[in-house]
Structure 1
Amino acid sequence: MAGGWTRDGAVQEQIDASVEDAVQTARRRLGAGDSLSHCEECEAPIPEARRRAVPGVRLCIACQAEQEKQHRAEGINRRASKDSQLR
């Protein structure tokens, strides 16, 4: 049961949309194709074990960690004030 400004089911729809966005983002980040032997950012060699474990790997571990840290800061804020939803 929703209350206030929302209709029934709106909260669940918002949760479902957030989960779907996260799944799509994760799928886009999955590698595909041949792995590189050297990082495309810093040119460091990518170990054979990493290339076998992560198909389509393009970054070394350090560059991958930095990229993931930057992506964590991004996101969708689905919580907005009621005033902004009325505009």
Structure 2
Amino acid sequence: MNVKALRVQKGWSQDQLAQFSGLSVRTIQRIERGHKPGLESLKSLAAVFDIDISDLQKETDMQADTSMSPEERAITKRVRALGGFYSHLTRYVV
């Protein structure tokens, strides 16, 4: 189950989940929209939902992979590659 489904199953609002987990409401919103959460956020959410962190991590990884169209994934991959190139170029010049 994804984070939103788990939250709704418990009958909690995003505000309540944020309070219980110690995360911000904005972080909860981002995760529910498919953004990949950090390890600390995953730990907090897994503890609140009383599930194993690996189960929650698998679900959020799958959700992040399916939230973008193939074109968006290709663009994202290219932008990351360009960012890496410019990062290395800047280090070389400096």
Q: TM-score range by the shorter chain?
A: under 0.3
Structure with bigger gyration radius: 1
TM-score, length basis structure 1: 0.24
TM-score, length basis structure 2: 0.23
Query: Larger RCO: Structure 1 or Structure 2 (Cα < 8 Å, ≥ 6 residues apart)?
Result: 2
Name whichever structure is richer in helix by fraction: 2
